[in-house]
Amino acid sequence: MSDIIISEDDYPEMEAVAAIQRGLHAYNQDMGGPYDREPVTVLARDADGTVLGGLLGLTYWNWLFIDWLWMAPDQRGKGLGGQLLERAEALARTRQCTHAYTDTFSFQAPGFWTRRGYEEFGRLDGMPPGHSRLWFRKSL
């Protein structure tokens, strides 16, 4: 073990990052089966093509993971976010997904998720201080 060097690196080269990602992905697929990972991107644009909101996620292992859902401040509360979510869920169903999950923060409208049938299954209080990080899931 004396010839192994452990170091910290604030700016790792891409090959080092890729080696870690390849190694973990290979292990995960050995244990859980092929990912069949496919991106999910649903956008809302105005007539000029300006993005007013969007949802970014992935489907894999029969799950939809919603990584990002954002609406421009002047578009919030108008039902557009719900339409984006419905489109993503419909796309996930065509890919044989049976469940969906996401995480959010307590200051990012967790009621949006519960109104759409998601249930909280995890909470990390104090992240960030004074708030919580929340995990939600839903059967599709």
Catalogue all structural domains in the chain, each as residue range(s) with its CATH number: 35-139 (3.40.630.30)
Mean pLDDT of the residues in the chain:
96
The C-alpha atoms of residue 86 and residue 138 are separated, in whole angstroms, by: 12
Strand positions, DSSP E, the chain: 38-45, 51-60, 63-71, 99-105, 119-125, 132-139
Contact yes or no for 23/58 (Cβ under 8 A): no
Q: Give the pLDDT of residue 1.
A: 62
Q: Give the pLDDT of residue 82.
A: 97
Its pTM stands at: 0.89
Q: Please state the rounded mean pLDDT for residues 132-137.
A: 98
The C-alpha atoms of residue 73 and residue 58 are separated, in whole angstroms, by: 25
Q: Please state the rounded mean pLDDT for residues 63-70.
A: 98
Contact yes or no for 92/140 (Cβ under 8 A): yes
Contact yes or no for 121/137 (Cβ under 8 A): yes
Residues in the chain: 140
**Tens digits of residue pLDDT in 5-54:** 889 999 999 999 999 999 999 999 999 999 889 999 999 999 999 999 99
